[in-house]
Amino acid sequence: MAMIVVAAYDVRADERRSRIAATLQAWGDRIQKSVFVLDISSEDLDELCSRIGAVMDPDEDSFYVFTQCGTCWSSTRCIGQANKPEQTLYWLAL
């Protein structure tokens, strides 16, 4: 089952930062330079964290994942230019 998470990073080296940003961009929406919102399954989140962990330097970099419950996400406040990313519905035809 998919869940909404907020992922944020602080990465020192430009090359690692670019690789991590590209990885996160493939999985979700960028809402700040180093903050992404992801609509992701727990299995895919495990895979994503594994990929991020393989790129980052744990002595210099940090990566955070904050899980949002449905109630928390629906009460998110956006001010000014901020826009809460829309949840996209996907249909599968078999």
Q: Report whether 6 contacts 35 (CB < 8 A).
A: yes
Is 10 annotated in a binding site? The answer is yes
Residue type, 61: D
> 47 is written with which tokens?
């895979």
Residue 94 lies in a domain: no
Query: Residue 28: which CATH number?
Result: 3.30.70.240
Q: How far apart are CA 45 and CA 65, in angstroms?
A: 9
Task: Provide the residue range defining the domain that includes 59.
Answer: 2-74
Per-residue pLDDT band at 65 (split at 50, 70, 90) = very high
Q: Report whether 70 contacts 45 (CB < 8 A).
A: no
pTM: 0.79
Between 3-12, 23-32, 83-92, the lowest mean confidence (pLDDT) is in: 83-92
Q: Taking residues 72-86, what's their average pLDDT?
A: 71
Tell me what pLDDT residue 77 has: 75
Specify which residues 18 forms β-bridges with. none
Residue 93 has pLDDT above 80, yes or no: no
Residue 9 lies in a domain: yes
